[in-house]
Amino acid sequence: MIDFYARSNSTPIAGVPKFDTRGALDGERRITFLRPLPVSSEGRRFEIRSKVIGVYDKGKPGTVVETEQTLADAQSGEVYSRAVGSGFYVGQGGWGGPKGRLRWFYVLYSSSLSAFAG
Q: Is the pLDDT of residue 4 over 60?
A: no
Rounded-to-integer distance, Cα 99 and Cα 30, Å: 21
CATH of the domain at 53: 3.10.129.10
Q: How many domains does the chain have?
A: 1
Strand-strand pairing, 62-73 and 112-117: unpaired
Give pLDDT, residue 64. Answer: 93
Nearest CA to 43 out of 16, 68, 73 is that of 73
Burial of 39 (0-12, 13-18, 19+ CB in 10 A): exposed
Which domain range does residue 47 map to? 4-117
Strand-strand pairing, 79-90 and 62-73: antiparallel
The pLDDT tens digits for 34-75 are 999 999 999 999 999 999 999 999 999 999 999 999 999 999
13 by DSSP, 3-state: which?
coil
Does this model's pTM top 0.85? no
